[in-house]
Structure 1
Amino acid sequence: MTKGRVTVIDIAKAAGVSKSTVSLVLQGSSLVNDATRAKVNSVMRDLGYVYNRGAANLRQSGSNSKIIGVVVNDLTNSFFAELAVGVDMVVQSAGFVQFLSNTSENLDRQREVIASMREHGISGLILSPARGTEASDLKPLVASGIPVVVAVRNVPGAKVSSIASDNRQGVFAAVQHLVSLGHSRIAFLGGFRDTAVFHERLEGYRAAARSCLLGHDEDLVVDSAPSRAGGAEAIGRALSIGSKPTAAVCFNDAVAFGACDGLRAKGIEPGKEFAVVGFDDVIEAKTAVPALTTISVDPQGMGRRAAQLLLKQISAGKAEAETIVSSVRLVVRESCGTGNGSTLGRKQA
């Protein structure tokens, strides 16, 4: 058996058949009997063989692969749709095609789509990993030399490039802004506790609370799914505690929109009776009612930078890991009571 990547020749030797028979099995030819097909498929599974359909096609055409895989954890969140648009802007202009897939936070689905993309000969992969993704999940890609850029969520220990926003500083600025408006009971809403992004943003919240002498109240930290429904559920729990918050920094804009829904369901008007700040600055943030105060990440810009980093590695023919932390900025609109004549902040001063 040869060392390194498993080949068709290795499969043929292990199965006791000819190379051409293995090729016919891979092509799905009816010329191979069922028993032989089953034996070859069993050997391929045992040896961890991945059939690169793209490479097979390219050997026939003589061209280079022009496929970029993009796998995200939640395409229902418009942040990831905007990120994918940013990726597409760059890869299209470079003559590449983007294959986009959504995992819905499912690790098994993530493994399946990545394996399928490898079969089709992707030149590189941009991945916003599902919850629970570990360095070992990316090891086969790294070993095969396929460049990988992890976006939004880091994977500890993975020897791949990454791009993420300055989560800590963003939430720190949001809390400081709410304190400047007179708030002292500020909740942190949404996000899964088992993700690095949650802990980075939570650390920004806690650091700002210490800096502004707000004290520590763990009841004000309410985790939930980072979605609109999760935000509505989180604000309901936050309003049920004894000393209620009067403002909230949300894990992302989707949670913020849900928090506004939940507030209205209880007869509380966001931006006038309760301050809400999001994180991401998706397109809908500007046109929401009230317009959402948020931490601007520029999702499309992040997608463009991720694609540029990936294409650089593809062009160089090697995947040297780089880490990019994008700066963020606070965008003040109406949902925290600024600019709409609200006395929300002054009531608490």
Structure 2
Amino acid sequence: MGKARVTVVDIAKAAGVSKSTVSLVLQGSSLVNDVTRTKVSAVMRDLGYVYNRGAANLRQAGANSKIIGVVVNDLTNGFFAELAVGVDMVVQSAGFVQFLSNTSESLDRQREVIASMREHGISGLILSPARGTKAADLKPLVSAGIPVVVAVRNVPGAKVSAIVSDNHDGVFAAVRHLVSLGHRRIAFLGGFGDTAVFKERLDGYRDAIAGCQLPADETLIVDAAPSRAGGLEAIGQALMIADKPTAAICFNDAVAFGACDGLRARGIEPGKDFALVGFDDVIEAKTAVPALTTVSVDPQGMGRRGAQLLLKQISAGKPEPETIVSSVRLVVRESCGASREGAPPAAPQAV
């Protein structure tokens, strides 16, 4: 079994007070003086105690929590909405309910929502970590024996399970496809440079460029927020390069949609004058104009597999770290210009 959680009895013993006093502190009672309250609160922090409000509410009925926490870093990105739908398909059929929260890439917000979920007695957590999340941020969950599955972004050194996509091979295949269409100046747009996902996808880009014997040009790598706004910004920077690219691999589909906006604002037609490839294959990719060529990850499928992994760990009672790397495939549509015959688009002119 996992490590025993810190209890009120443990707090009382460490603070040298009675269990009743600790309970009064938790209830915010005015019967406890400030000195004792401060002392007890300090011990709680030192021992990593989290008040399990859900357990308190359910204790008399003898019930167990049937709550799964799902915390994502950017719910405005359709990928994560689809991921959450996949999770819900599995946990609902298993009799659990999903608590979903968005952190907007804020570590402080991530800590707050996870603490709140722990108060309500979650049975497990699926987390797409906010930018900058470290192994130490997940240690309290591991120490408490709460099963955790990180999704999309791995957290190096964290002793938790993970489900990620094959980032390297996905981008590698996308670059080789663009080269097969005749492109020689291929940009890599978007993504936060300090995340493991960015590094894995960028490695795939660099390895493909080298493997195709194209000259490496670091000016073609433009990092930006992995969002539509980030894509708009990144394509603008790429088109300011003297020897302009004719194509781009985008960090994700959201960036690709933003790049399309930026191209059109300059009178450049995606798929005709400039080739674009995304990553994720969200629902909108198929219906976009032009339809987006992208590396398909199957967000809902990733959510289902992540939920299945989490439920397996909850059932086992002892979370054993396990990593699943989901295979990907390149889905060729119109935005890369593959339907056009002949040479690739000429380099866009300055506007």
Give the TM-score category using the shorter length: over 0.9
Name the stretch that deviates more: 57-66 or 226-235. 57-66
Query: Any unmatched runs of 5+ in structure 2?
Result: none
User: Partners of 2:196 and 2:236 in 1: how far apart?
Assistant: 25
Which residue does the alignment assign to 2:253?
A: 253
Identity of aligned residues (%): 83
User: Partners of 1:17 and 1:145 in 2: how far apart?
Assistant: 27
User: Would the aligned equivalents of 2:247 and 2:275 in 1 still touch at CA under 8 Å?
Assistant: yes
User: Partners of 1:176 and 1:78 in 2: how far apart?
Assistant: 27
Which residue does the alignment assign to 2:90?
A: 90
Alignment of 1:308-319 (within 5 A): 308-319=308-319
User: Partners of 2:308 and 2:4 in 1: how far apart?
Assistant: 29
Q: Is residue 285 of structure 2 the alignment partner of residue 285 of structure 1? A: yes
Deviations 1:24-45 (A, max 9, x none): 3323456x35535555434433
Q: Is residue 111 of structure 2 the alignment partner of residue 111 of structure 1? A: yes
User: Partners of 1:135 and 1:47 in 2: how far apart?
Assistant: 18
SS of equivalent residue, structure 1 residue 345:
coil
Residue identity matched to 2:150: V
Q: Is residue 336 of structure 2 the alignment partner of residue 345 of structure 1? A: no
User: Would the aligned equivalents of 1:272 and 1:343 in 2 still touch at CA under 8 Å?
Assistant: no
SS of equivalent residue, structure 2 residue 344:
helix
User: Would the aligned equivalents of 1:174 and 1:330 in 2 still touch at CA under 8 Å?
Assistant: yes
SS of equivalent residue, structure 1 residue 307:
helix
Alignment of 1:96-245 (within 5 A): 96-245=96-245
User: Partners of 2:286 and 2:190 in 1: how far apart?
Assistant: 21
User: Partners of 2:94 and 2:127 in 1: how far apart?
Assistant: 19
| 1:197 shift after superposition | 0.4
User: Partners of 2:125 and 2:132 in 1: how far apart?
Assistant: 18
State the TM-score, normalized to the length of structure 2.
0.93
Which residue does the alignment assign to 2:263?
A: 263
Question: Would the alpha carbon gap of residues 34 and 175 (structure 1) be closer, same or farther in structure 2, given more than 3 Å must change?
Answer: same
Which residue does the alignment assign to 2:51?
A: 51
Name the stretch that deviates more: 189-198 or 59-68. 59-68
SS of equivalent residue, structure 2 residue 44:
helix
- Measured on the aligned residues, the alpha-carbon RMSD in Å equals 1.9
User: Partners of 1:346 and 1:290 in 2: how far apart?
Assistant: 15
User: Would the aligned equivalents of 2:236 and 2:262 in 1 still touch at CA under 8 Å?
Assistant: yes
User: Partners of 1:202 and 1:232 in 2: how far apart?
Assistant: 19
| 1:337 shift after superposition | 1.0
Name the stretch that deviates more: 12-21 or 309-318. 12-21
SS of equivalent residue, structure 1 residue 321:
coil
User: Would the aligned equivalents of 1:161 and 1:321 in 2 still touch at CA under 8 Å?
Assistant: yes
